[in-house]
Homo-oligomer: A and B are copies of this chain.
Amino acid sequence: MPLLAVGSVALDSLETPFGRREDVLGGSASYFCTCASFFGPTRLVAVVGEDFPEEHVRFLASRAIDLGGLSRRPGRTFRWKGRYEFDLNTAHTLDTQLNVFAEFRPELPEAYRDSEYVFLGNIDPDLQRTVLDQVRAPRFVACDTMNFWITSRRESLLRTLKRVDLLFVNDAEARQLAGEHNVVQAARRILGMGPRAVVVKRGEFGALFFSGEEVFAASAYPLPAVFDPTGAGDSFAGGFMGYLARTRREDHATMRRAIVLGSVLASFTVEQFSLDRLRTLGAEEIRARYAEARRLAHFDDLELDLFDVSTPS
């Protein structure tokens, strides 16, 4: 069964130390679906305005992305304008124009209602639940959120969390949601809110996965050049969920591979502006970087005779 994703399709204007771009393709669902589509078909639920360029629609359609749930409404497309400083870690929002996204009420085409894998992108938690209400029997639901919803719509977010299997957050969001600085303790508290798994994304430092007593730490692929961090988190989620939906397994070993694949997809996304790197990316490159990630993290067992000096034991 294909994967369903709800989120934003946007036009981004970006400034980084390496250049700027105006009105390029962006939005959480664009990154998510493009990355997930390497693994199988993906169903998109989003809204754009009358000004949304046809070339972007053609690009998304070329990627095994079902656009039956992409509605075009009178008005302008959601626009985000942001700037990154040299450290590239923090996005400084310069301007947000919700436009048609302000009235977004996700409606699933009948053909989408049998989706088993669902990704609830970073939108109002009320809307996230209306999406879930329209899916007949979701098998695995993952959810993204942000500081804005954690502070301003906390009760609604907590209701959503009771209905999801996995939450994607970054360190700061995990701390904020849990009210706890230590990230291990924060993840444990979040597991108590409903999800059976939490992925804490740490940008250039990788990601942590928590589920029950299981902990997995994935290092990010150390890139010699990062161009534009926009979309890294949604690319991560897209690689992760695409792989899960493809394998139809949710055991911990599968989740670990999914996290590394998410990290690999994100590492490609940030190499160029917008979705540009994903346009030329091939399956063999994904596979090669996954193998690279294996070499990067590998170390052997210890020799057995290591501690025979006179130390306490």
Closest to A278 in B: B312
In the bound complex, do residue A222 and residue B215 qualify as a contact, i.e. CB atoms below 8 Å apart?
yes
Q: How far is the CB of A6 from chain B (nearest CB, A)?
A: 21
In the bound complex, do residue A219 and residue B246 qualify as a contact, i.e. CB atoms below 8 Å apart?
no
Pick from A66-74, A153-161, A282-290 the stretch touching chain B: A282-290
Bound form: Cα–Cα A9–B64 in Å? 64
Closest to A38 in B: B311
Q: How far is the CB of A246 from chain B (nearest CB, A)?
A: 7
Bound form: Cα–Cα A86–B183 in Å? 12
Specify which chain B residues have a CB less than 8 angstroms from the CB of A219 in the assembled complex.
206, 217-219, 297
Residues of A within 8 A of B (CB-CB), count:
65
Q: How far is the CB of A84 from chain B (nearest CB, A)?
A: 12
Closest to A246 in B: B306
Number of copies of this chain in the oligomer? 2
Given contacts A215-B296, A226-B182, contact A287 B311 (CB under 8 A): no
Specify which chain B residues have a CB less than 8 angstroms from the CB of A111 in the assembled complex.
none
Closest to A279 in B: B312
Specify which chain B residues have a CB less than 8 angstroms from the CB of A223 in the assembled complex.
182, 184
Pick from A43-51, A93-101, A141-149, A253-261 the stretch touching chain B: A253-261
Task: Kindly state whether residue A216 has any CB partner on chain B within 8 Å.
Answer: yes
Bound form: Cα–Cα A223–B188 in Å? 12
Q: How far is the CB of A213 from chain B (nearest CB, A)?
A: 11
Bound form: Cα–Cα A256–B296 in Å? 10
A182-B224, A184-B222, A284-B313 known, 17 other contacts, Cβ within 8 Å: A37-B309, A38-B311, A39-B309, A202-B205, A205-B205, A205-B206, A208-B222, A217-B219, A217-B220, A217-B222, A217-B297, A243-B306, A247-B303, A259-B299, A260-B299, A282-B312, A297-B299
What are 30 A-B residue pairs whose CB atoms fall within 8 Å in the complex?
A39-B307, A40-B309, A64-B309, A64-B310, A86-B181, A183-B222, A184-B222, A184-B223, A185-B224, A185-B225, A205-B206, A206-B217, A216-B296, A216-B298, A216-B299, A217-B219, A218-B299, A219-B297, A247-B303, A253-B299, A256-B300, A257-B299, A280-B312, A283-B306, A283-B307, A284-B313, A287-B302, A287-B307, A290-B302, A294-B301
